Structure formats: C-alpha cells, structure tokens
Amino acid sequence: MENRSWLSEVYYVVSRDLENLLNRPFVVISRTLSFLVQFFIFGYTVSTLVKGFDFYTYYGIGTVITTVCSVSYIMGHDMFHEAEMGLLDYLLSLPISRRTLIVGRSLGGAARSMAYGTPMFIVAMITLGFRDLLDIFESLLALFALAFGISGLSITVAIAIRNEERFDILLAFIELLTIRFSTALYPWRAMPYYVSMVSAFSPVTSAAQAIQSKLFYSVTDFTSWGTLLAFVFIFFAVSSAFYYKRIEGGRYK
C-alpha cells in the first residue's frame, strides 16, 4: 500500500512536468520544425556530398538523438526559473516527500523528452526502413537512459549555479559540448583528432554508439551501454544530493 502511494506521488510529479512542456506549444512546434528540416532537408542535402557511406541514415538517427538530448536540457531551465519564482517552495509545501520530488523531477525530464522524441524516432524508423522491433526497443531504452542522465546533469547545474547569466552560459556550453562533440551527427573518422578525444567522454556518444550498433548491426554494444549507465547513475546521485541539500530545512535557498 505504501509503495502504491509512493508511485502515485511520483506519477503526480512526472505528469506535472509533462504538462509543463505541453503547455508551451512554441517550444514543441519550434523543435519539431527544426527536426523536420534537419531530417528531411539538411540531412538529405549533406548526404549527397558524402560518397561511399550512407550518411543520410547515420545523420537521420543522430538528429533524433540530439533532439531528445536538447529537450532534456530544458529541465534545468525549468528548475532554475521555478526556484526564482518560488514555485519550488510551493512544491515543498505539498504532502510529497523529498525523495519523491527528487526521483520525480529526473523521471519527469526523461519522460517528457521521450514523449516528445518517440514520435520523431518512429518517423525516422519508418523513413529509414528499420523494422526489427527488438532493435527499435533497445534503441528507445538507450534514448530514455540518455534523457534521464541529461535531465540529472541539467538539474545539477540549475541547483549549483544561482546567477542567471552564468547558468545560461554554462548550460549552453555543456549542451554544445555534449551534442556537437559527439558521434551522433558525424562518425569519429570524420572528426579532427582533438574533437574525437573530447567526443569519447560525451554521454551522447555513448548513446549514439549503442543505438547505431543495434540498428545497423543488431549487436548490443555493452561498452557503450556501460558508459551510458555510469553517466546516468552518477548524475542522478549528484543531482539528488544537490537537490536534497538545497531544499533541506523545507525551503529552496
């Protein structure tokens, strides 16, 4: 009975975050249009310049990965502005435990990223001709793990930085570093050496490698999965610790 009550509380927090994203149609529409342009126009155009390699398929999958990742970073912006507006103090006044709030916010960030990105992923799978349901399912799990980890990372930054200008600059830099310095949109062999060195540490690279291995070769890349899950657990633990410390005493200070 207690577990059921805890799950219902987590569901409330997650559903609230989902509603927050859906209540901002401009964000949904703008990012959807960006995905469509990248997938159907830019990706096709660039692929005509690449010989001996199916770059369109590679780039199309990468576009979905980077879009889900980008939406996950919005969680950090929401957390920061909620703190500024006093909404976190309101959440703390509700009959919900701190543990529920911490778990729910990370899950909420991942859930709304997947709610937004799954239709795009399905469009990509149909367009690119992927039909194996097991490969598609494992790829979706990798996307969810990435979204969960990025949500934890953005929450950590939102809680650690209290100056709005510094927060915006730092989160934008981290987003740029994790997405553009990754193998989601271009393979290692096409990167300059210094970029490939940084790319190896990007969680987006780990997710991209896991998804590409499964979809292209029907092989589970356990190394990439291990790196991705390590990233998820580390930043969930760090964001939880930061969040708990900030709300200790009943107020977000």
pLDDT tens by residue, 55-90: 999 999 999 999 999 999 998 888 888 878 877 777
Structure tokens at 120: 């795009």
91 located within any domain: yes
62 located within any domain: yes
What is the span of the domain harbouring residue 84? Answer: 2-247
Give the pLDDT confidence of 89-111 residue by residue, as tens digits. Answer: 777 677 777 777 778 888 888 99
237 located within any domain: yes
123 located within any domain: yes
The reported pTM is 0.90
pLDDT-derived band at 3 (thresholds 50, 70, 90) equals low
Element (H, E) at 115: helix 98-128
38 located within any domain: yes
Overall domain count for the chain: 1
pLDDT-derived band at 145 (thresholds 50, 70, 90) equals very high
- Identify the CA nearest to 215 among candidates 94, 111, 76, 65: 65
Residue 251 has pLDDT above 60, yes or no: no
143 located within any domain: yes
252 located within any domain: no
pLDDT for 6 equals 73
253 located within any domain: no
- Identify the CA nearest to 123 among candidates 71, 67, 70, 64: 64
